[in-house]
Amino acid sequence: LNPLYAELPTTIFEVMSQLARTHEAVNLGQGFPDDPGPEDVRRKAADAVVNGWNQYPPMMGLPELRAAAAAHYRHWQELELDPDAEVMVTSGATEALAGALLALIEPGDEVVLFQPLYDAYLPLVKRAGGIPRLVRLEPPSWSITREALTAAFSERTKLVLFNNPQNPTGVVYSRADLALLAEFCVAFDAYAVCDEVWEHVIFDGVAFTSLMALPGMRERTVKISSAGKIFGMTGWKVGLVFAAPPLMKVLSKAHQFLTFTTPPNLQVAVAYGLGKADDYFTGMRADLQRSRDRLAQGLAGLGFSVLPSAGTYFLSIDLAAHTNAADDEAFCLDLVRTHGVATIPVSAFYAQDAVKSVVRFCFAKRDETIDRALERLAKVP
Ligand code: PMP
Ligand code: GLN
């Protein structure tokens, strides 16, 4: 047995969702919306199944989806991508991450990562033979400093794995932050694997810039997107990978022997969905922003210290201000067992030196779900 896997605990998302079922809790842990997703996109997928889109699609993805993706990102992020040479479809962002790390890392290469980190990152980096170099971010700003990057980057750095907008913090890093990171990537001739799955889920009119758009980054960035997040249908494992042709050639070799293809009916529907009018995307943002505000105001009204969230489905509270609990994990376990609300302890996103006072809530829920959770939270001593 490979000890890397034998010793891995079950992911916190699965653990908390299981506890939520056991305790009939309101599940604000694992990040998925209550709503079923846009009906026209779901209908396209259903029609595609009935109409025979059920055999192997091309390895790189359906040409109509690759063209739709190139058009979508030209429109939304001003990126010029060649659909034939710079776009690939994978089975979720998770496959894209695994493939990119397997394709780029050689044993002994150093990989710069940021804590809190999405839980799939570290096992994938280690399995690929990478040596993690962790940059520790802290509440309330979770800001990236020149000092921290100077300590993390070295001549042995092969790549940086960066998530923006960031799960679990809800931070959308600014162009200035990205420029700092880009400066280090260029100076150390490192690749960047940029997990941008939350790129459409941003609030308050905040601007999203892809790391790929920064000077010096176009040729060295692998951009990863996810239809599951773009359309709020998280079980739809359709990922999109964007990279310059020399990189894409290598990434496609990893993809061909991980999954090779992704269900064609879903690809047909995602191709259609990416072309939806701007209203759909701005409307989704507005709806989620209202839900964010409802939960944030409710939590603040109960005396919790709520950290800002500019993107993703998540907001956090900092227990440091809450006298009865200083340990996020103990707080979350008690909350789900005793009070029937499932959340995620942010310490689970740290490999070492964890911040132990922050708890993540998913607000991508209907008003009645949020209100039910708040009623239960009101009973927390
Ligand atoms: N990266 C991040 C930061 C995520 O939050 C998620 C899903 N929540 C993923 C990757 C996985 O995306 P997918 O479901 O498309 O594999
Ligand atoms: N990305 C989702 C979250 O952060 C969960 C994904 C998963 O369950 N693996 O909640």
Which atom, in ligand 1's list, is nearest to the CA of 96?
A: 16
Give yes or no: residues 44 and 169 share one domain: yes
Domain boundary among 258, 274, 290: 274
What pLDDT, in 10s, does the model give residues 271-283?
A: 999 999 999 999 9
CA 98 to chain centre: 14
If you average pLDDT over every residue of the chain, what do you get? Answer: 96
Binding pocket residue ranges, ligand 2, CB within 6 Å: 11, 13, 30-31, 167
Using CA atoms, how far residue 158 sits from 241, 268, 270, in Å, is 19, 36, 33
Give yes or no: residues 365 and 228 share one domain: no
Domain boundary among 274, 302, 326: 274
Residue 189 belongs to domain with CATH number: 3.40.640.10
- The mean per-residue pLDDT over the stretch 6-30 comes to 94
Q: What is the pLDDT of residue 320?
A: 85
Binding pocket residue ranges, ligand 1, CB within 6 Å: 31, 92-94, 118, 163, 167, 195, 197, 226, 228, 234, 237, 239
Give the position of tokens 């964010």. 292
C-alpha 88 to ligand 1 mean position (Å) = 17
Give yes or no: residues 112 and 171 share one domain: yes
**321 pLDDT tier (thresholds 50, 70, 90):** confident
Domain boundary among 274, 289, 323: 274
d(CA 14, CA 18): 6
Give yes or no: residues 69 and 174 share one domain: yes
- The mean per-residue pLDDT over the stretch 333-359 comes to 96
Give yes or no: residues 103 and 225 share one domain: yes
Least Cα distance to 223 among 236, 237, 213, 231 occurs for 213
**Which residue's CA is minimally distant from atom 8 of ligand 2?**
13
Chain length of the chain: 381
Which range of residues forms the domain containing residue 260?
Answer: 39-274
Give yes or no: residues 23 and 147 share one domain: no
C-alpha 34 to ligand 2 mean position (Å) = 14
Quickly count: other Cβ atoms within 10 Å of residue 131's Cβ. Answer: 15
Which helix (H) or strand (E) element contains residue 361?
strand 358-362
**DSSP letters of 303-321?**
T--BPP--BSSEEEEEGGG
Instruction: Reply yes or no on whether the pLDDT at 333 is more than 70.
Output: yes
Is the pTM value of this prediction over 0.95?
yes
Give yes or no: residues 72 and 142 share one domain: yes
Question: Is the link from the previous residue into 168 a cis peptide, with omega within 30 of 0?
Answer: yes
C-alpha 187 to ligand 1 mean position (Å) = 29
C-alpha 189 to ligand 2 mean position (Å) = 31
Tell me how far apart the 2 most distant CA atoms of the chain are, in Å.
Answer: 59
Q: What is the pLDDT of residue 381?
A: 84
**DSSP letters of 226-253?**
EHHHHTT-TT---EEEE--HHHHHHHHH
ipTM over 0.95 threshold: yes
Q: How many domains does the chain have?
A: 2
Give yes or no: residues 186 and 48 share one domain: yes
Residue 288 belongs to domain with CATH number: 3.90.1150.10
What pLDDT, in 10s, does the model give residues 73-122?
A: 999 999 999 999 999 999 999 999 999 999 999 999 999 999 999 999 99
